[in-house]
Amino acid sequence: MNQFTVPQFIEHEPKIVGPLTFKQFIFVGIAGAFCFVLYFTVPFLLFVLLSIVIMLGGFALAFVKSGGRSLPVVLKNFFSFSASPKMYLWKHKEGLPPKIIKVAPAPQEVEKSSVPTVAGKSRLNVLSTQIETKSEEEKQ
């Protein structure tokens, strides 16, 4: 029995009209149709200015990618995020803000280790234990 490797993660859209995919053809085609209608309805100078803007928009929608995603997907995500309801919560803690306690270094000799320890634990661990037990006692 022959085993064949099957390629995976293929993100290839087939080319339908020349070098364009169907989506690209639709975006460029709709922009071209708007320009065709403008040619017969507005003065020539306005037609040229609007056609440039419309065709740039059509080509941007067809060919521009941002972060690996096409521009229509990016715009859809932007508008759906902007229009969706959001809830921002702020949990106010009762009481005063915590105080910063500055401990002056003792005039004794500084040990060789950079982390001072008390009975096998660092001062930070001892302080945090004291704060936790004090806060638990106050709550009860």
pLDDT class for 6, splitting at 50, 70, 90? confident
The encoded tokens of residue 37 equal: 């209608």
Q: Residue 107 domain-assigned?
A: no
**CA–CA dist 83, 74 (Å, integer):** 14
For the entire predicted model, the pTM comes to 0.53
Q: Residue 33 domain-assigned?
A: yes
Q: Residue 47 domain-assigned?
A: yes
Q: Residue 31 domain-assigned?
A: yes
Closest by CA position to 51, among listed 34, 64, 63: 34
108-138 b/e with 16+ CB inside 10 Å = b? eeeeeeeeeeeeeeeeeeeeeeeeeeeeeee
* pLDDT tens figures, 78-133: 999 999 988 888 777 777 666 777 777 766 655 555 555 445 567 787 787 788 77
Q: Residue 139 domain-assigned?
A: no
Q: Residue 17 domain-assigned?
A: no
The encoded tokens of residue 107 equal: 């005039």
Q: Cα-flanking dihedrals φ and ψ of residue 122, to 5°?
A: -75, 160
Q: Residue 11 domain-assigned?
A: no
Residues forming a β-bridge with 127? none
Find the domain containing 64 and state its range. 22-83
Q: What is the mean pLDDT of the segment spanning 17-36?
A: 93
Q: What is the mean pLDDT of the segment spanning 29-54?
A: 96
Q: Residue 126 domain-assigned?
A: no
**CA–CA dist 31, 24 (Å, integer):** 11
Report the domain count for the chain. Answer: 1
